Amino acid sequence: AQSVAQPEDQVNVAEGNPLTVKCTYSVSGNPYLFWYVQYPNRGLQFLLKYITGDNLVKGSYGFEAEFNKSQTSFHLKKPSALVSDSALYFCAVRSAGRRALTFGSGTRLQVQP
């Protein structure tokens, strides 16, 4: 079985401040972890993924995520938020024995000017 939890429905941050969107996962074996973003009236877009190797993964639009095996977490981060980062963010996981991703419930990020 594989599952993902995004504990925050919404995260509010001021423009220029660092942001974190939280994600924890549960899988059997090694996880493959992903972040996707959905802008208003748009389809989901891939941001970044962790497969193996360095625990800090860098992705599109200045985002990065840190894989923490002991805490089973994969939090999304950005050093300085932009108003244009306001969107719905989804964490997703796949275990080695599965072909398809399981997505979390999503976290809405609101960046205030």
Partner 1 sequence: DVKVTQSSRYLVKRTGEKVFLECVQDMDHENMFWYRQDPGLGLRLIYFSYDVKMKEKGDIPEGYSVSREKKERFSLILESASTNQTSMYLCASSFGTGGSSNNSPLHFGNGTRLTVT
- 98-103-105 Cα angle (round to 5): 155
Q: Per the structure block, which two tokens stand in for 54?
A: 């360095």
Place of tokens 């923490």: 68
Q: State which of positions 82-111 bind partner 1 (CB under 8 A).
A: 90, 92, 94, 99-106
User: Taking CB under 8 A as the rule, does residue 31 contact partner 1?
Assistant: no
Alpha-carbon distance of 11 to 52, in angstroms, equals 28
Distance of closest approach, residue 105 Cβ to partner 1, in angstroms? 4
Using CB under 8 A, list all residues that contact partner 1: 6, 9, 32, 34, 36, 41-46, 49, 51, 90, 92, 94, 99-106
